[in-house]
Amino acid sequence: MDNMNWNYPTPIWFGLNRVNEIQKACENLNINNPLIVTDPGILKTNIISKVNNSIAKEASIYSDVQGNPTGSNVMHGVEVFNNGKHDGVIAVGGGSGMDVGKGIAFMAGQTRSIWDFEDIGDYWMRANSDKIYPVIAIPTTAGTGSETGRAGVFTKEDTHEKKIIFHPKMLPAIVILDPDLTIDLPPSLTAFTGMDVLAHCLEAYSSPFFHPLSQGIALEGIAIVKKYLVRAYKDGNDIEARGNMLVGSSMGSTAFQKGLGAIHSLSHPVGAIYNSHHGLTNAVFMPYVLKKNREVIEDKIIGVAKYLDLEFATFDGFVNWILNLRKELNIPHTLKELINDKSKLVKMSKMALQDPSTGGNPVKLDESDFLALYQDSYEGNL
């Protein structure tokens, strides 16, 4: 596997043992006192030691990060960042650790509430752009693609809503994709995060907005998932599969500049209320949303089915591929298997309608549509 450097949408250093080049990355960005931001799970591995061993001076660590991170996780980190007089962040982990790291680097120099920068209109222009610190992102899972995103997703604790906080300068300044760091990811998380890659690429591909660059990236991202996800799931030491899934993850978040859709709209409230794994929740909703959007996206789906060289290059053939993929990865078919509580479906329907992802769905949906999707996915009515 060759080491490669790419510059889209940000400098990406890809290859085995690229983690050893963190000091060079810090020097390129004039970071002299970085704060490592990660999650408690990564802290128990040897990954942080590999990071610290690769920089000139051992860095402080902030790891108060939940699986579905909150605004408080970010703001506690801001206190640590400012008290330690840090000048940059090394964000290590899955989407949670990277989102919090990006959030800390963004908020450390701001005076307004984090919620004032929600991804609505031009709210991002409220920020003091001169007070945003650089981020080096090092993903240890192949899923969210936060390393190539310009936003972070955080739960607002008082309302149990997931909010997307956006600013162009939240995009990490350097990304290090080292497949060796994903070797120890267990099969279940390999599956969940891999299905997140598929959700990002599939929703971007299906979005009605005009963005041919993202469209092409999304299409190839789906093909990478088809070729490599099951391989990585069955053999975590398959470096070729691990490396390709890492790249696919970065491609997914690059592609969804074109838009997301109802898979994410449905998933965000469930994650905010029940703390479910985002990729797993996306995987459960995926076929139900595909069927809901069929009348608008069928030709597109036939196109991707042909590109994937599926045995049956039809809409139903593509959906059956998704269903069979979920079985291979031991993904549950129903929402009930995740939460076993239907008392909040109406509440979540209201939240889903308001989710920023809803605007990118190919079919315009109302609250009753979201309720029906929750009910069908809860009972398994496909």
Condensed to tens digits (0 to 9), the pLDDT of residues 128-149 reads 999 999 999 999 999 999 999 9
Pair of tokens at residue 77: 């980190």
**HEC assignment per residue over the chain:** CCCEEEECCCEEEECCCHHHHHHHHHHHCCCCCEEEECCHHHHCCCHHHHHHHCCCCCCEEECCCCCCCEHHHHHHHHHHHHHCCCCEEEEEECHHHHHHHHHHHHHCCCCCCHHHHECCCCHHHHCCHHHCCCEEEEECCCCCCHHHCCEEEEEECCCCEEEEEECHHHCCCEEEECHHHHCCCCHHHHHHHHHHHHHHHHHHHHCCCCCHHHHHHHHHHHHHHHHHHHHHHHCCCCHHHHHHHHHHHHHHHHHHHHCCCHHHHHHHHHHHHHCCCHHHHHHHHHHHHHHHCHHHHHHHHHHHHHHCCCCCCCHHHHHHHHHHHHHHCCCCCCCHHHHCCCCCHHHHHHHHHHCHHHHHCCCCCCHHHHHHHHHHHHHCCC
Q: What mean pLDDT is reported for the chain?
A: 96
The answer to whether 4-181 and 185-379 have equal CATH topology is: no
What digits encode the pLDDT tens for the residues 323-375?
Answer: 999 999 999 999 999 999 999 999 999 999 999 999 999 999 999 999 999 99
Give the span between the Cα atoms of 254 and 276, in whole angstroms. Answer: 24
Q: Tokens 């660590």 sit at which residue?
A: 61
Assess contact for 235 and 128: CB atoms under 8 A.
no
**pLDDT of 2:** 86
What is the distance in angstroms between the CA of the first residue and the CA of the last residue of the chain?
41
State pLDDT tens for residues 293-308: 999 999 999 999 999 9
Token readout for 344 is 């909040």
Residue tagged 């009910």 (tokens): 375
Does position 59 have pLDDT exceeding 80, yes or no? yes
What's the rounded Cα separation, in Å, for the pair 16 and 26? 19
Write down the CATH number for the domain with range 4-181: 3.40.50.1970
Pick the CATH number of 185-379 from 3.40.50.300, 1.10.3720.10, 3.40.50.170, 1.20.1090.10: 1.20.1090.10
pLDDT at 30 over 90: yes
Report the share of the chain in percent with pLDDT over 70.
Answer: 100
Q: What's the pLDDT at 300? A: 97
Confidence label for 38 from pLDDT (cuts 50, 70 and 90) = very high
> Is the CA virtual torsion 333, 339, 340, 341 positive or negative?
negative
Single out the residue of 154, 359, 373, 365 nearest to residue 268, CA to CA.
154
Examine the pLDDT at 286 and tell me if it is beyond 90.
Answer: yes
Q: For the chain, how big is the Rg over CA atoms in Å?
A: 20
Task: Report domain extents, the chain.
Answer: 4-181, 185-379
d(CA 9, CA 51): 24
Structure token pair of residue 132: 């945003």
Q: Is 301 in contact with 219 (CB distance < 8 Å)?
A: no
Residue 91 near residue 131, CB atoms below 8 Å? no
Residue 1, pLDDT above cutoff 90: no
Q: Report yes or no: 85 and 74 within 8 Å, Cβ to Cβ.
A: no
Determine contact, residues 272/68, Cβ cutoff 8 Å: yes
**Cα 103 to Cα 95: distance, rounded to the nearest angstrom:** 12
What is the rounded CA–CA span in Å between residue 178 and residue 347? Answer: 41
**pLDDT, tens digit, for every residue of 212-223?**
999 999 999 999
CA-based max dimension of the chain: 59
- My answer on whether omega of the bond before 287 falls inside 30° of 0, hence cis, is no
| pLDDT for residue 160 | 87
pTM comes to: 0.93
Q: Are 176 and 136 in contact (CB under 8 A)?
A: yes
